[in-house]
């Protein structure tokens, strides 16, 4: 029968099977949709305050009037956008934001990117009518 070359089957079995079913090469184009990252640059006066503030981990609340919306970057991740901007000569600095799509924010910190949200002021409570007296 011949020498075994597999789980209890003779060698000629494996040769014959390979001849009947040649290996197929699978080629496909993988298209990954890369999101748009809108870059918001922190204004210089606020940048100094941010740099010297103690580090906090987790969610960071940011005010829209402290930022200027600048360029749009197409990249696979925030770190890919960071690398692309670094190579373009306009690197992200500590305190800058990347807005992914519509509303998801990532802030650039010394340790990497963390989640951020825009500051939304609370609506003032409705005032009581002045004509009613409480007795």
CA distance 113 to 13: 57
Say whether pLDDT at 72 is over 70: yes
Averaged confidence pLDDT in the chain: 80
CA dihedral 16, 17, 19, 24 (to 10 degrees): -170
Q: Residue 133: what pLDDT?
A: 56
What is the pLDDT confidence band of residue 33, given thresholds at 50, 70 and 90?
Answer: confident
Average the pLDDT over 93-105 and give the result: 90
What is the pLDDT confidence band of residue 90, given thresholds at 50, 70 and 90?
Answer: very high
Residue predicted with more confidence, 129 or 106: 106
**pLDDT per position as a tens digit, 34-43:** 789 999 999 9
Residue ranges in the chain assigned as alpha helix (H):
11-20, 44-52, 78-88
- The pair phi, psi for residue 97, each rounded to 5°, is -115, 150
Q: Residue 85: what pLDDT?
A: 95
Question: For residue 15, what is the enclosing H or E element?
Answer: helix 11-20
Global pTM? 0.65
Average the pLDDT over 38-58 and give the result: 88
Q: Residue 126: what pLDDT?
A: 76
């Amino acid at each position: 029968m011949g020498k075994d070359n597999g789980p209890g089957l003779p060698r000629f079995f494996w040769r014959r099977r390979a001849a009947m079913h040649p290996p197929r090469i699978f080629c496909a184009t993988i298209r990954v949709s890369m999101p748009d990252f809108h870059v918001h640059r922190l204004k210089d006066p606020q940048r100094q305050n941010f740099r010297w503030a103690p580090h906090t981990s987790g969610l960071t609340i940011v005010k829209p009037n402290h930022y200027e919306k600048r360029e749009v970057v197409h990249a696979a991740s925030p770190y890919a956008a960071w690398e692309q901007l670094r190579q373009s000569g306009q690197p992200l600095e500590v305190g800058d934001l990347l807005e992914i799509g519509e509303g998801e924010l990532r802030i650039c910190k010394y340790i990497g990117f963390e989640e951020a949200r825009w500051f939304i002021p609370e609506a003032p409570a409705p005032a009581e009518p002045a004509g009613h007296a409480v007795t």
